Amino acid sequence: MERYARLARQGANNPSSAHGGGLEAARLVQEARQSIARSLDCLPQEVYFTSGGTESINLALKGAAYAGSSLPKRALTSAGEHDAVDASLSFLEEYLDYQLVRVALQADGRMDLAQLSQALEEEPAGLVSFLAVSNETGAINPLEQVVSLVREKAPRALIHSDIVQACGKLPFSFRRTGLDMVSVAGHKIRAPKGTGLLIKAERVKLQPLFHGGRQESGLRSGTVDMPGAQALALALSLHTENLQDHYRKTLAARNFFLDCLARHPLVFHTISSAESSPYVLSIAFPGLRGETLMNALSAEEIFISTGSACGSRKAGDNRVLSAMGLEREIILSAVRISFHPDLDHDAIRHLADRIAWLHGRYAVS
């Protein structure tokens, strides 16, 4: 953020301008693009700057559908996708006559690969999109295994993955996964809000959603946010360099929280599996509504949620947890807690103590 603020103060030079200030801004954008390519193991020309994960997802899926007239109009996704993927594919279903198939989730929150295989065998697919890591539960889908399965059974399909919760937190190589497109949100790795990426293989053709200045090789018109691009590149580089240390500390923080909870006389149900990403914990406290707990903690400036930020305002409704086959009581009492490597034990212990106290006060038996 310090780098972002410093660059933002240098002036509003447009990277598309031909004057000296514009050329310097363009150089800094290209420098950021090259740094990102190194961090994600892709080519610089495969990196496109966007305003965040939602735009990147829309550009990938709608852009592929509009450009791919020869692709089968059948899209496969999981029942546990981020709202941006689910809504984008629903748009294709409604307006472009796509057939949309939502593959079931297993009890651990991962996509059911047996059902995916069956769906791929039934009819040709043109688009496949699935989460790398669930934004609701932290469940980790096996990227390379899924890509291999799709390539075997639907070799013409374009494969997209939302890696927002994986980027900078789990090992990732665009080249090694064999994916066609991935979407990234900057704020998940402490870059400024409103920054994001679409990584797209060179051979993949997309139709732009924005038209005007033909920035980003004509794929994403609009003045490129040079300070945001630089800040995102730096954040990604720092997270990639410290990935193992951050993971270890975050896992320790999550486990310490669960240990602290276990010392209290309250019943809780850990929805996230032990193999899920430690950065996201879905947990339920039967008898205490999730929104009641969220609001009570919010009054103390402790911020948890009842689900992902894009869908958490729908009280008592969580389609991802429903798709996992959880009972209504568990879904109503579920909350999502995000962890990061800088949390100290006192803060974690305080959270567990407050949850236990609030459960004792508000829980209905």
Q: What is the pLDDT of residue 312?
A: 43
The pLDDT tens digits for 167-185 are: 999 999 999 999 999 999 9
Q: For residues 296 and 214, which has the higher predicted lDDT (pLDDT)?
A: 296
Sequential DSSP letters for 150-200: HHHH-TT-EEEEE-TTTTTTS---HHHHT-SEEEEEGGGGTSPTT-EEEEE
Q: What is the pLDDT of residue 3?
A: 67
What one-letter code names the amino acid at 281? Answer: L
Q: Is the pLDDT of residue 2 over 70?
A: no
Q: What is the pLDDT of residue 199?
A: 98
Confidence of residue 4 (pLDDT cuts 50, 70, 90): low
pTM score, whole prediction: 0.94
What one-letter code names the amino acid at 275? Answer: E
CATH 3.90.1150.10 segments of the chain: 243-360
Q: What is the pLDDT of residue 25?
A: 85
Q: What is the pLDDT of residue 316?
A: 59
Q: What is the pLDDT of residue 314?
A: 54
Q: How far apart are CA 10 and CA 112, in angstroms?
A: 50
Q: How far apart are CA 147 and CA 144, in angstroms?
A: 5
The CATH architecture assigned to 2-241 reads: 3-Layer(aba) Sandwich (3.40)
Query: Which homologous superfamily does the CATH classification assign to the domain defined by 243-360?
Result: Aspartate Aminotransferase, domain 1 (3.90.1150.10)
Q: Is the pLDDT of residue 57 over 80?
A: yes
Confidence of residue 256 (pLDDT cuts 50, 70, 90): very high
Token pair in block for residue 6:
């410093």
Determine whether 167 is an active site residue: no
CATH 3.40.640.10 segments of the chain: 2-241
Average model confidence (pLDDT) for the chain?
Answer: 94
Q: What is the pLDDT of residue 1?
A: 60
Q: How far apart are CA 68 and CA 189, in angstroms?
A: 32
Which of 42, 167, 260, 310 is catalytic? The answer is 310
Handedness of CA 247, 252, 255, 260 (dihedral sign): negative
Contacts with 295 (C-beta within 8 Å, 6 or more apart), sequence order: none
Confidence of residue 69 (pLDDT cuts 50, 70, 90): confident
